[in-house]
Copies of this chain bind each other. A is one copy, B any other.
């Protein structure tokens, strides 16, 4: 807490009147325990399942740090969590969010390596979208001095995933070619920047047409997501490509595999094709996710191909690979301080604006990362909303989402 004021000046450009929101977040709850604001998912479903609410503030356990959160990353996966469109989802109500950054407010016993006041970014296994987050030090990394909080919230998941796919799974080297879907998204932009750190890498990007002017310099060739990318890639490189990064899944998998050069690697790292509407569609779920075409190892043998899956969150939280991720993060922060990579922030949103932010990512409207800025006040349309009022009741009549709210624009970076 003591250090919070000192760091605020640096963040001023990203904040809009933070004081009222912050004061509201630190009220004493009855009984002496502190409370905090957090985004709550009441149950799996549409946007109306999300609300901002008060929650008991967590305290750090042994080996944990308590972070006063400044900003959180919003990922496509959060949409899938909201829909319940993931394997073994936890039981709602829950606080979503897998990454945040902020300032260390206190540390648990036996917690080493961090001190109160440290500016940090962290992975969290849910619960990131709150004013305060406690997480084991294994998942916490110090931010470089020159990194802003929105940048930090946009950095961790996208760059670590992009780096590990390109260099740990696929072994990207000079002269190779990479095809990336959703080139305008957070991972897509991280992939493009990391590819630029290796000589003579050709990047084929696929993105919606309206993003092309904004991202055209980040990739070598850019294709509209509505055209037949296979044909277009083969026109330029009849041989195919060395690496395909696929976050769509479903029927896309087979197409991507056929685009691989011999010794090429296909990496599946998401399944956005399973999301067709605001709520989970069992039809698209089954079609795109569970019934994605299975691959015969013999076919891989005959064609000399490699197929991989990558889930950073499983790697961290189910498979205990935090020390490997730490090494990767060190390399990435080195690239950041050398100014070779820089996270692309699409827009900043108040916690209360999480629905609009999710709608934007659902509509593929973003270029780079969407950030929840914990200290940002909602734009005027929502200004009268009380954070203590559940919005679920009001919106249950509108299962297709409150599209009018898209008029309320966030701070665009």
Binding site for B on A (CB under 8 A): 87, 164, 168-169, 171, 249, 253, 262-263, 265, 268-269, 271, 289-290, 292-311, 314-315, 319, 321, 324
Instruction: Report chain B residues within 8 Å CB of A253.
Output: 297
CB distance from A375 to the nearest CB of B (A): 35
Cβ contact within 8 Å between B298 and A309: yes
Q: What is the distance, in angstroms, from A272's C-beta to the closest C-beta of chain B?
A: 13
Partner of A296, one of B292, B305, B310: B292
Q: Given the known A-B contacts A262-B315, A307-B307, are A297 and B292 also in contact in the complex, defined by CB atoms under 8 Å?
A: yes
Contact indicator B314/A304 (Cβ below 8 Å): yes
Please give, as numbers and ranges, the residues of chain B lying within 8 Å of A321 by CB-CB distance: 262-263
Contact A298 B268, beta carbon cutoff 8 Å: yes
Query: A166 CB to closest chain B CB, in angstroms?
Result: 12
A168 to B296, CA, bound (A): 21
Closest to A88 in B: B302
Min CB gap A168→B, angstroms:
6
Complex: how many Å from CA A308 to CA B265? 9
Which of B296, B298, B308 meets A300, CB within 8 Å?
B308
Q: By the criterion CB–CB under 8 Å, are A307 and B306 in contact?
A: yes
Is there an interface contact between A296 and B298, defined as CB atoms closer than 8 Å? no
Each complex incorporates copies of this chain amounting to 2
Task: With both chains docked as a complex, state the minimum distance between the C-beta of A77 and any C-beta of chain B, in angstroms.
Answer: 12
Most chain B Cβ neighbours within 10 Å, of A262, A299, A321: A262
Chain B residues, CB < 8 A from A299: 309
CA distance A315 to B293 in the complex (A): 25
The distance in angstroms between the C-alpha atoms of A289 and B271, with both chains bound, is: 30
The answer to whether A309 touches B305, judged by C-beta atoms less than 8 angstroms apart, is yes
| Nearest chain B CB to A327 CB, angstrom units | 12
Query: Do A302 and B87 touch across chains, with their CB atoms under 8 A apart?
Result: yes
Docked-complex contact A311 and B319, CB < 8 angstroms:
no
Contact between chains at B302 and A292 (CB < 8 Å) = no
Are the CB atoms of B301 and A307 closer together than 8 Å? no
Other-chain contact of A168, B263, B307, B314 (Cβ < 8 Å): B263
A315 to B324, CA, bound (A): 33
Residues from chain B with a CB closer than 8 A to the CB of A310 are 301, 304
Interface centre among A253, A299, A310 (most CB of B within 10 A): A310
The residue that A306 contacts in the complex, of B269, B293, B308, B319, with Cβ under 8 A, is: B308
With A295-B294, A297-B292, A307-B300 already in contact, the answer to whether A315 and B171 are too (CB < 8 A) is no
A93 to chain B, nearest CB (A): 25
**Which B-chain residue is minimally distant from A246 (CB atoms)?**
B297
Identify which of A292, A294, A306, A309 gathers the most chain B CB atoms within 10 Å of its CB. Answer: A309
Question: CB within 8 A of A298: which of B164, B290, B301, B324?
Answer: B290
Q: A249-B297, A253-B297, A294-B294 are in contact. Are A302 and B314 (CB under 8 A)?
A: yes
Let me know if A301 and B262 touch, CB within 8 A. no
28 pairs of residues in contact across A and B, judged by CB atoms under 8 Å? A87-B302, A164-B263, A168-B171, A168-B263, A171-B171, A249-B297, A249-B298, A262-B315, A262-B319, A265-B306, A268-B297, A268-B298, A268-B301, A269-B301, A271-B301, A289-B298, A290-B298, A294-B295, A295-B296, A295-B297, A300-B309, A304-B309, A304-B311, A304-B319, A305-B308, A306-B306, A306-B307, A307-B307
The chain B residue with its CB closest to the CB of A263 is B168
Q: A311 touches which one: B265, B294, B296, B302 (CB < 8 A)?
A: B302
Cβ contacts under 8 Å, A308 to chain B:
300, 305-307
Measured between beta carbons, the chain B residues less than 8 angstroms from A300 are: 268, 307-309
Which residues of the other chain, B, contact A164 by a CB distance below 8 angstroms? 263
In angstroms, Cα B194 to Cα A222, docked, is: 41
